[in-house]
Copies of this chain bind each other. A is one copy, B any other.
């Protein structure tokens, strides 16, 4: 299958591209390197060093004898999107190419507007390019479980059958997202569903949980194939951050009570889920939603699991929650559609956490402790980012 991976230089886009390439697909990647730019803006860096995209692609060709074509450009540039889509003529597009940090979108007005315009316009340009190139192209779009928020009823996969005043309809599941970033994904979902309806496009919206892990079967084939690992307060995901805190002897910082519960998945399952969606496309005109996670944990549970798995001393500290969110709530979300397609999950076991801790330990000299404390406050319209640290301080 010819597959175009957008955001192919990112944390998940890169290993997804490698995985699909190794599985025999013809893969191209596109990126505008904004993710590397955010690092400069924040004064932080991936814990694991990453090679340039051009270098990575060359190494992959040496290691696997497989070529990955590279497009450099921005999805908000409609001409670029149209030329790339028509030129590569993909059968499917996997779309990771969005600003994906909730705190980043909440820094201030400029970052909020940037996030929504970047994400919404990029996806609109892509929908038009697909409709004009070949409406049969399958769009696999990365959404987020955060689109749903934390309702007091079970979360279903994209749609819910509602019986109301004696009548019944299957309607889009109501959305209550918790940041301007999550809102941008809700906007995308509505736009994509509409494009499928009017132009007969086919799309799978992967409402993904929080991803943990850094190593995949392909990225471990050569050190320069590594994907990034973020632990800072703006781009780091919670389990990765806890592992860094454990290794450097910093208390695990739980926001608020820690009852916030989220769907989680292993990075290797992201790759498997994307491939399952690609190999089992929806019919023309169909917009479908898969909830892409394997287990749910509260933040406090995750902290306890890291504490248990780490051989040394670990403290857990509750800090004031910088977000506006329920700190204790009901959470039960369906996630059977990918299992039905054959997903065999990697569950979060002590061995998984220990392998994550080992990754962190190898790079502990690169940890910048000053990047970990939250700076972005949801209740304020503008937050001051930390001053750049004078030097990296390992422990």
- A164 at interface (Cβ–Cβ under 8 A)? yes
- A132 at interface (Cβ–Cβ under 8 A)? yes
Instruction: Name the residue on B nearest A164 (C-beta).
Output: B153
Q: Which of B112, B131, B154, B165 contacts A124 (CB 8 A)?
A: B112
9 further A-B pairs in the complex, CB-CB below 8 A; given A131-B381, A153-B165: A78-B113, A116-B120, A151-B171, A152-B167, A153-B167, A162-B174, A171-B176, A175-B190, A180-B191
Q: How far is the CA of A378 from the CA of B196 in the complex (A)?
A: 12
Distance in Å from the Cβ of A287 to the closest Cβ of chain B?
Answer: 11
Distance in Å from the Cβ of A207 to the closest Cβ of chain B?
Answer: 15
Q: How far is the CA of A120 from the CA of B173 in the complex (A)?
A: 22
Q: Are A171 and B174 in contact (CB under 8 A)?
A: yes
Q: Which of B131, B162, B180 contacts A160 (CB 8 A)?
A: B162
Q: Are A190 and B183 in contact (CB under 8 A)?
A: yes
Q: Are B154 and A125 in contact (CB under 8 A)?
A: no
- A379 at interface (Cβ–Cβ under 8 A)? yes
Q: How far is the CA of A110 from the CA of B138 in the complex (A)?
A: 23
Q: Are A113 and B109 in contact (CB under 8 A)?
A: no
Q: Which of B110, B173, B177 contacts A190 (CB 8 A)?
A: B177
Q: How far is the CA of A117 from the CA of B186 in the complex (A)?
A: 15
Would you give the 0/1 interface string for A166-199, flagging 1 where the beta carbon is closer than 8 Å to chain B?
Answer: 0111011111111110010011001101100111
- A343 at interface (Cβ–Cβ under 8 A)? no
Contact residues in B for A113 (Cβ distance below 8 Å):
78, 121, 124-125
Interface residues contributed by chain A, number (CB under 8 Å): 52
Q: Are B165 and A162 in contact (CB under 8 A)?
A: no
Q: How far is the CA of A194 from the CA of B379 in the complex (A)?
A: 11
Would you give the 0/1 interface string for A12-50, flagging 1 where the beta carbon is closer than 8 Å to chain B?
Answer: 000000000000000000000000000000000000000
- A330 at interface (Cβ–Cβ under 8 A)? yes
- A80 at interface (Cβ–Cβ under 8 A)? no
Q: Which of A363-395 contact B (CB under 8 A)?
A: 378-379, 381-382
Q: Which of B132, B152, B174, B324 contacts A168 (CB 8 A)?
A: B152
Q: Are B154 and A165 in contact (CB under 8 A)?
A: yes
Would you give the 0/1 interface string for A103-142, flagging 1 where the beta carbon is closer than 8 Å to chain B?
Answer: 0000001101100110011001100100110000000000
Distance in Å from the Cβ of A196 to the closest Cβ of chain B?
Answer: 11
Q: Are A187 and B120 in contact (CB under 8 A)?
A: yes
- Do A154 and B164 contact each other (CB < 8 Å), given the known contacts A171-B174, A191-B180? yes
Distance in Å from the Cβ of A135 to the closest Cβ of chain B?
Answer: 10
Q: Are B194 and A183 in contact (CB under 8 A)?
A: yes
Q: How far is the CA of A178 from the CA of B190 in the complex (A)?
A: 10
